[in-house]
Homo-oligomer: A and B are copies of this chain.
């Protein structure tokens, strides 16, 4: 059986597209044509979100390899939101997409195990083992060290799943901790990179990449290039493209000579393409899914251009 990272890379190669669509719904971003069909209580809002996500998945599932739902945007709607999250993951898998749940979990021992049970493992009850989210990859926070990562790594082995560990994040203040320089001259994020390399050793697949990989932001090209060198087995989940300012040429620095090594996330620019400056004169509110597809193709071509001409 293929490892999780091999399944993801196969999909990226098959579609010739190193992008992942972030599905981070907020009520105020839904198109009027969907909003108008539902009420505004939490249950109705979540039904609207499910319809929106289904249509977005339908519109890109043959050209985009993966979705990345950010669970915060579902949790904020309570249990109905978690249901919408599960529905979204289930539907994307049914449509053949890889699901990367952005949960940034970070805890220790039995708690890390409980988080892992929910995300990629199974929850034991008497003689049963229940799969809960059953997604392919989950993002994880390294601040608590190996204790916080090990239960996930074990489940990756057991259930053929993967994780992306935060190494260097895309946000403005990411340097406050991550860039601190240690007495040996290395930065904190370089130390985290070394840990991730170690955690991922046993899970390197046929392309030379590990199912224990990392998150590296598009907004810090120097670090992206440097981390590509010191993390040769780490696939990069790259946020920060588009709205946050990460450019295709910068992002290309995170890729290897075979055009592999990264998967680039875009959320708002894809989800709300129909109201963007680029597409608002081409598509109406009712055509939001077509606009997302058009933007996904544009983004794919832009990224591939930059990666191939590197």
Contacts and interface: CB of A to CB of B under 8 A. Distances in A.
A112 B172 CA distance: 14
A107 B180 contact: no
Interface string A159-176: 000000010011111111
Interface stretch (A8-16, A52-60, A113-121): A113-121
Contact of A174 (B28, B82, B145, B174): B145
B171 A108 contact: yes
Interface in A58-113: 70, 72-73, 75-79, 82-83, 86, 102, 104-112
B40 A125 contact: yes
Contact of A107 (B72, B79, B107, B177): B72
Interface stretch (A136-144, A202-210, A247-255, A279-287): A136-144
A45 interface: yes
B73 A114 contact: yes
Nearest to A170: B108
B126 A176 contact: no
Interface stretch (A187-195, A220-228, A270-278, A294-302): A187-195
A77 B124 CA distance: 9
Contact of A171 (B102, B109, B177): B109
Give the interface residue-count category, chain A: 35 or more
A132 interface: yes
A42 interface: yes
A181 interface: yes
A24 interface: yes
Nearest to A40: B126
A180 B173 contact: no
A128 to B, nearest CB: 6
Given A106-B104, A188-B188, A86 B75 contact: no
Q: Which of A28, A86, A111, A178 has the most CB of B within 10 A?
A: A111
B73 A24 contact: no
A244 to B, nearest CB: 9
A148 interface: yes
A143 B125 contact: no
A166 B180 contact: no
Interface string A125-156: 11110101000000001111111100000000
8 contacts: A27-B126, A42-B123, A77-B132, A144-B173, A145-B177, A147-B172, A180-B182, A181-B182
- What 9 pairs across the A-B complex have the smallest Cβ distances? A145-B173, A145-B176, A72-B114, A108-B171, A146-B173, A76-B117, A147-B173, A147-B171, A76-B118
